[in-house]
Homo-oligomer: A and B are copies of this chain.
Amino acid sequence: MTAPDLFDRFAKSSLSPDISDATRLRLQAMARYARVQAGDVPIIEEGSELLVFVISGSVKLVAQASQGREQVVAFHFAGDLLTLPVHLAHAYTLYALEDCELVYFPASQFFKLAVTEQGMANDILDRAMGALARCHEKTISLGRKNAQEKLASFLVTIAARLGSSEDGASVFELPMSRRDIGDSLGLTIETVSRQFSELRELGLLETSGRSGVRLLDPAGLEARAGHLAPAD
């Protein structure tokens, strides 16, 4: 594992260029690395909150409830920052969806350093607020939407993150399985599959193979997502 290389890529993508050399060195000293294959657990939980940067690949953050039930709390992609919580009322595990490279830090140590550099503190605060906002939006999906709205909302959100535009359509490859989508939306794989079929029959999307998706009518999907119109 070529750690220095990973740290450099992390620094280049996620650290402001005017971080002091001292801070940079102390960060490098506390950085830890993981380079894992799809399906693996890159980080073993260790009793303190961790701050994880996804350098490449994608991951799911999963919470375990009793009786083996799993809830996908969030998907994260290259460039994202996430926190791996400690064991609260539920246990959390990070899984690689694809081959992944990660850099991570004990959260409290990282914060102690971050607050000595204004740019860094601001960046981390912004990212934390963004994560909170996304979690709030997810709360609405889970609490107040039916299966079709959940899937439409999920696809629109993923497209905004992963989709490339092809004359009005949005095209992307889903890095996660139907089970992962179900575990994220509070649905079973069968229901997810049925809703894919229904959206296909409505002419809103096409699929190719297990992971290829082409949203033919993003506006139509948005309308079915139960989102509130901006002027509503």
Q: Are A111 and B125 in contact (CB under 8 A)?
A: yes
Kindly list chain B residues whose C-beta atoms are within 8 Å of the C-beta of A232: 66, 91
Known: A139-B142, A186-B143. A226 touches B69 (CB 8 A): yes
Residue A52 interfacial (CB < 8 Å): no
For window 111-163 of A, CB contacts with B under 8 Å fall at 111-112, 114-116, 118, 121-122, 124-126, 128-129, 131-133, 135-140, 142-145, 153
Rounded to whole angstroms, the CA-CA distance of A133 and B69 in the bound complex is 19
Which of these binds chain B: A81-89, A98-106, A170-178, A200-208? A81-89
Q: Are B107 and A129 in contact (CB under 8 A)?
A: yes
Rounded to whole angstroms, the CA-CA distance of A86 and B63 in the bound complex is 28
Q: Are A91 and B228 in contact (CB under 8 A)?
A: yes
Residue A49 interfacial (CB < 8 Å): yes
Chain A 46-73: CB-based contact to B (< 8 A → 1; otherwise 0): 0001000000000000011111011101
Residue A230 interfacial (CB < 8 Å): yes
Q: Kindly provide the distance from the CB of A48 to the nearest chain B CB, expressed in whole angstroms.
A: 12
A: number of interface residues (CB 8 Å) = 57
Known: A136-B135, A228-B66. A71 touches B128 (CB 8 A): no
A-B residue pairs in contact (CB < 8 Å), sample of 28: A49-B129, A63-B137, A65-B144, A65-B145, A66-B227, A66-B229, A69-B144, A71-B139, A73-B140, A83-B133, A85-B133, A85-B136, A87-B230, A88-B137, A89-B227, A91-B228, A111-B126, A115-B118, A115-B125, A124-B125, A131-B132, A132-B132, A132-B135, A135-B135, A135-B136, A139-B139, A142-B142, A143-B184
| A residues in contact (CB < 8 Å) with B | 49, 63-67, 69-71, 73, 83, 85, 87-92, 107, 111-112, 114-116, 118, 121-122, 124-126, 128-129, 131-133, 135-140, 142-145, 153, 183-186, 225-230, 232
Q: A66-B229, A66-B232, A87-B230 are in contact. List 11 more A-B contacts (CB 8 A).
A: A49-B129, A69-B144, A71-B139, A90-B137, A90-B227, A111-B125, A128-B129, A128-B132, A142-B186, A143-B183, A143-B185
